[in-house]
Amino acid sequence: MKLRKIAALSLSAVMALSLGSAATVKAEEEKTFNIGICQLVQHDALDAATKGFRDVLTETFGDRVTFDEQNAAGDSATATQICTNLVEEKVDLILANATPALQSAVAATNEIPVLGTSITEYGVALDIDDFNGTVGGNVSGTSDLAPLDQQAAMFDELLPDATKIGIVYCSAEPNSKYQADTVQAALEANGKTVSVYTFSDSNDVTTVVGQACSENDALYIPTDNTAASCVEAVNNVAQPAGIPIIAGEENIMAGCGIATLSINYYDLGRTTGEMAVKILNGEANISEMPIEYFQNPVKEYNPAMCEALGITVPEDYTAYEPAE
């Protein structure tokens, strides 16, 4: 009789554990996530990164994930307010798209996981000395930095007669200065004369680009969000002046440049989304996640711009094709 009771109790215990485990699994499966997105400004590169991020999370969680996506329209103060609101909303994770958005998110919370994307150099963006590739704390993400020495080498490959190079960027973007300094050093080491021109915001782009075009044989524009949002204005000055531009990323090249060493921002966003899935599922600790980089940049040229300026392109360059 006692044996039967013991067996019955044991069976009950096993069933209870099984039911408890099943309930836990079901609870995990039904868990919902609210993701905050702060994007600095609307332009094709940042839009593509946000889309890639959202696509991965939607593919993974379906209708269990919702997004509070907001755009700061290029204003850092607005980005700060957006991130403050997302923290008050107690979102499960924040995507900060572009450097000022990342800086605002980091200032707003040290608890909610923050993933950056379209950030060129995290050590510069977050003022970290001797940055070793991992931010730590509640921050990680992806970088859009392409090999800058290879971008500088494009001037000899495409414009061998250009000896005076102007570098143009927005002074409000520290990552742009980092790129400009690196490319300037590489160009000067290769015998070029380099002049640097900065604009403070979109209002003085035309004037600054006009001066740069009048004093140089060619221009370099790094990955720069303000420049990316003003490519039409840049092109309206540079193309009539016959001044070719090598760009830090594809979307600037498509609007006003002849070539770039390109990364794919949609794929970069997807990589960021995959990082988010691991964090939300408890598969990874964000404090231990190193920054991830785009692994296979492509030498890309703008056929229409090269033809208009009479530039011959080497065979190892790929023609840019606009997305349909």
Alpha helix positions (H), 89-173: 99-108, 122-125, 148-158
Write the single-letter amino acid at 95. Answer: L
Question: Residue 272 and residue 93: Cα distance in Å, rounded?
Answer: 12
Q: What is the pLDDT along the chain (324 residues), one digit of tens a residue?
A: 444 554 454 555 555 555 554 444 444 557 999 999 999 999 888 999 999 999 999 999 999 999 999 999 989 999 999 999 999 999 999 999 999 999 999 999 999 999 999 998 999 999 999 999 999 999 999 999 889 999 999 999 999 999 999 999 999 888 899 999 999 999 999 999 999 999 998 889 999 999 999 999 999 999 998 999 999 999 999 999 999 999 999 999 999 999 999 888 999 999 999 999 999 999 999 999 999 998 889 999 999 999 999 999 999 999 998 866
What pairs with residue 168 in β-bridges? Answer: 197
Give the homologous superfamily in CATH for domain 32-144+264-293.
Answer: Response regulator (3.40.50.2300)
Predicted confidence at residue 214, as pLDDT, reads 98
Residue 308 contacts by C-beta under 8 Å, 6 or more apart in sequence? 239
Question: Residue 101 and residue 264: Cα distance in Å, rounded?
Answer: 20
Give the pairing of strands 193-199 and 318-319: unpaired
Phi, psi of 84 (to 5 degrees): -60, -40
Inter-CA distances, 124 with 70, 99, 143, 174, 200, Å: 25, 10, 12, 7, 19
The model's pTM is 0.77
* CATH code of domain 148-262+298-319: 3.40.50.2300
Predicted confidence at residue 108, as pLDDT, reads 98
Inter-CA distances, 58 with 54, 62, 93, Å: 6, 5, 14
Predicted confidence at residue 25, as pLDDT, reads 45
32-144+264-293 shares its CATH topology with 148-262+298-319: yes
Phi, psi of 195 (to 5 degrees): -120, 140
Q: Provide the residue ranges of all domains of the chain, joining segments of one domain with +.
A: 32-144+264-293, 148-262+298-319
